[in-house]
Amino acid sequence: MTRRRKPQSKPKPRAAAAPPAPDADPLADPRIRPLVERYCDLAGVKLLDKGADLRELKLPLAERAHFQGRASLRLALSLDALERNPDAEIAVLGSPFLTQLIEAIRTRAGRLSLGMIPPPPPVAADEEDVAPSVAPPVPVRDGKARQTSVGLAAHPIGRLVARVVLRAGAAVEEAVVESDVFDLSTGTRSSHDVAGLFQELEARRVKPAAASAIPDADQVPAREAKEMLRLLIGNLREKSAERVAARQAAAGTQVATELDRLDRYFASILADKSDADAERTITALHERRRTEEVRRHQVKAIVHPLQLVEARVLVQRAEWELRSTHGRRAQLSAQRPLAGTAAWVVACPHCGRAPTELVVCRHEEGHCACDACSLRCSVCAEDFCADHGIASCRVDEQPACEEHARVCQSCRMAHCSTHEGLCAEGDHPACSACLEACGSCGRVVCNRHAQQSVADAPKGSRRLCTACVRYCEGGTNEPVGMDEVTQCASCSKSVCTAHQAVCVVDGHVHCSRHLHRTDASRRLVCGEHRVSCAEESAAIFASDEVAGCPVCGKDVCAQHRAACAYCGRQVCTTDLAQPSRHCATCAQLVAVADPPEEVVTAARAVTGGGRAPKASRAWRIARDRTHFVVEVDLGLTRKAVFTLRHGDTVPDGIVRHSVLGSKRRR
């Protein structure tokens, strides 16, 4: 709540603040007493004196919500006053009352306007007090200055009251801190004389000047709230640096003690563990706990702005127009407060510091900066302030102005337009540090659209674009080039030449998902040529390691096959009778008077193309899944047994039997 005191009106009657008793125990922070008084004055709270260091606050309806709905409360401003009145509340850092007071101030009394600091008589309102032509107080780089006006102006000055809370581990420290007095328009720190007059005005030892006393002064506005807070909080940070360093040192000692305790605790746990997985789990938990403790003991400063106390001071103001050799223009002003020693003050419009040289920023009309917060663009060789460009290009570490500054879409880092290129993948710009040619197709791509193959790839480590990269399924899915892979014959996945394997049956490349080792020979075979034996269904065999039994048609391996002693065929051991070692088909031979025509044709080949055997007793035939088994009586105890595949007329196996033994012809 902003409330400007009327300089002509009399202040509201209030009880005079009695000095503390000589033997009273004062509070740690002397800023709390004036803070209470200032709040009561602005919010219309009656502050009654009830004795030494004892006050009573009569709260209006609008303020009671901040103090738990109470209409009044008693406040002890020292420990002695609290002992005499146990029902009173103590006003000390960390107390509930101070928390409620701060909330009330932030809600209703965020600004305090003190009015105009009285200028020393006589008021220097005549322009003859300022030379009609004043040289610029600092030189202009690559430019010149021309004075445009000299006159009077009212500048806002002020300071910030804030609560600063420091947290580190379990320790919490808070204090009410006041910033120095600053010129809120130029950002410069006020001189000691002006700051002293500001404090006199704030303490009501002097009265503010009437607004009508200086009718011709221009009212200069304060900076934007964001810039003003950044300036004042930066000053609070400087004033709290010693406290932060002390808290940081204490936190360092505490975290060292805590980390030592954690190390001893987890070391005792690991001493009882022998399992590698359990050790890894405990070690990971140990590292996480250490990280948590280090983070918990880091000093964190929280700033709660309480009140902005501001006033105005009359200054003599001279303005110049700056013009650079490139035709850029900017405005510069210098002011001399009509209070105290009245020294001329020049501040950088950008950073608020006293400049030694000024430059005209190329990116904003009427904007200039000092040599400390300005840079020269490496592309166009013009000067710019820190807000309108980058301080370092990621490629050559040279500055670049806003017009020639870029942000790489690949690495998200700033660079200049000189080091900008085009990525072939998507045709988007990127910095030259992120652009490189693809090792396969030669296209220039950025890091975001490229991958690096591993060193043990067939062609070594290379940069690959998204169109050329493949992922080898034969290894650990690592990226390789499209010129280093072969497609799997089963699923068309890519397999690099360093990790590819072939099926022993068809000789084609297959991925690891479709290649398996046989159980007996340990050869690699693809899914298409993977079979099992009818007698050993759980085992894996290659298709060339099994054969179909001609009797039952089942696939069996060599271990479960044997030759029939009568027809000579390889049959499964299940269809081979023991001990005769005749297959099941040979055991079923029966006499046939009228054999099929193809059997007769095949029999002529067996007998040498001569006469056919007599039909009365020469033919004995049996049929199974794949063959005719035919026994032909050749006379004189000689017999010929041949096998004829269904649909053929030429026998594929002939065995001759006699009293002298058996002989296989084919």
* Residue with the larger pLDDT of the pair 106 and 91: 91
Give the span between the Cα atoms of 3 and 275, in whole angstroms. 72
Per-residue pLDDT at 126: 44
- 273, 279 contact by CB (below 8 A): yes
Q: How confident is the model at residue 23 (pLDDT cuts 50, 70, 90)?
A: very low
Per-residue pLDDT at 133: 52
Residue 534 lies in a domain: no
Per-residue pLDDT at 446: 92
Per-residue pLDDT at 3: 41
- 491, 514 contact by CB (below 8 A): yes
Give the span between the Cα atoms of 472 and 261, in whole angstroms. 48
Residue 426 lies in a domain: no
Residue 611 lies in a domain: yes
- Crossing angle (nearest 10°) for helices 276-296 and 241-270: 170
Give the span between the Cα atoms of 662 and 490, in whole angstroms. 48
* Residue with the larger pLDDT of the pair 111 and 14: 111
Q: Is 189 exposed, middle or buried (0-12, 13-18, 19+ CB in 10 A)?
A: buried
Residue 18, domain extent: 1-109
The predicted model gives 353-381 an average pLDDT of 84
Q: How confident is the model at residue 330 (pLDDT cuts 50, 70, 90)?
A: confident
Output the average pLDDT for the chain: 82
Residue 539 lies in a domain: no
- 385, 350 contact by CB (below 8 A): yes
Residue 342 lies in a domain: yes
Q: Is 254 exposed, middle or buried (0-12, 13-18, 19+ CB in 10 A)?
A: middle
Of 327, 347, 367, the position where a domain reaches its end is 347
The predicted model gives 474-492 an average pLDDT of 82
Does one domain contain both 170 and 287? Answer: yes
The two tokens of residue 472 are 């080898």
pLDDT surpassing 90 at residue 571: yes
pLDDT surpassing 90 at residue 491: no
Does one domain contain both 137 and 90? Answer: no
Phi-psi domain of 404 (left: phi exceeds 0; alpha: psi -120 through 50; beta: other): alpha
The predicted model gives 635-647 an average pLDDT of 87
- 140 secondary structure, DSSP code: B
Per-residue pLDDT at 117: 86
Does one domain contain both 250 and 287? Answer: yes
Does one domain contain both 221 and 264? Answer: yes
Give the span between the Cα atoms of 45 and 64, in whole angstroms. 10
* Torsion sign (Cα): 412, 416, 419, 421: positive
pLDDT surpassing 50 at residue 28: no
Does one domain contain both 103 and 143? Answer: no
Does one domain contain both 93 and 161? Answer: no
- In 3D space, the residue among 380, 8, 27, 445 whose CA is nearest the CA of residue 213 turns out to be 8
Q: Do the strands 72-76 and 89-90 form a parallel or antiparallel pair, or are they unpaired?
A: parallel
pLDDT surpassing 90 at residue 399: yes
pLDDT surpassing 50 at residue 209: yes
Window from 14-18, 27-31, 429-433, 537-541 with minimum mean pLDDT: 14-18
CA angle 80, 161, 200 (to 5 degrees): 80
Does one domain contain both 15 and 67? Answer: yes
410: phi then psi, degrees, rounded to nearest 5 = -95, -55
Q: How confident is the model at residue 4 (pLDDT cuts 50, 70, 90)?
A: very low
Window from 34-48, 211-225, 430-444 with minimum mean pLDDT: 211-225
Per-residue pLDDT at 24: 43
- pLDDT for 440-481, tens place per residue? 899 999 998 888 888 888 888 899 998 898 888 766 678 888
The two tokens of residue 401 are 């102005």
Does one domain contain both 157 and 272? Answer: yes
- 137, 344 contact by CB (below 8 A): yes
Per-residue pLDDT at 6: 39
Its pTM stands at: 0.50
Per-residue pLDDT at 665: 67
Per-residue pLDDT at 523: 92
Does one domain contain both 100 and 171? Answer: no
The two tokens of residue 131 are 């030379």
Give the span between the Cα atoms of 183 and 151, in whole angstroms. 18
Give the span between the Cα atoms of 320 and 17, in whole angstroms. 50
Residue 269 lies in a domain: yes
Per-residue pLDDT at 612: 55
Rg (CA), the chain: 51
pLDDT surpassing 90 at residue 419: yes
Does one domain contain both 104 and 138? Answer: no
Domains contained in the chain, number: 3
* Residue with the larger pLDDT of the pair 525 and 1: 525
Does one domain contain both 98 and 141? Answer: no
Residue 240 lies in a domain: yes
Per-residue pLDDT at 369: 86
Sequential DSSP letters for 203-234:
TTSSPPBPGGG-TT-EEPPPPPHHHHHHHHHH
pLDDT surpassing 90 at residue 398: yes
Residue 60 lies in a domain: yes
pLDDT surpassing 70 at residue 596: yes
Give the span between the Cα atoms of 324 and 303, in whole angstroms. 42
Q: What percent of the chain clears pLDDT 70, i.e. is strictly above it?
A: 88
Does one domain contain both 140 and 249? Answer: yes
488: phi then psi, degrees, rounded to nearest 5 = -65, 135
Of 317, 347, 377, the position where a domain reaches its end is 347
pLDDT surpassing 80 at residue 489: yes
C-alpha pair distances (Å), 76 with each of 30, 79, 435, 567: 13, 7, 70, 122
Q: How confident is the model at residue 546 (pLDDT cuts 50, 70, 90)?
A: very high
- 556, 534 contact by CB (below 8 A): yes
- pLDDT for 110-127, tens place per residue? 777 888 888 776 544 444
Give the span between the Cα atoms of 204 and 114, in whole angstroms. 9
Of 347, 381, 399, the position where a domain reaches its end is 347
Q: How confident is the model at residue 495 (pLDDT cuts 50, 70, 90)?
A: confident
pLDDT surpassing 90 at residue 556: yes
* Residue with the larger pLDDT of the pair 142 and 274: 142
- 424, 411 contact by CB (below 8 A): no
- 177, 240 contact by CB (below 8 A): yes
Q: How confident is the model at residue 29 (pLDDT cuts 50, 70, 90)?
A: low
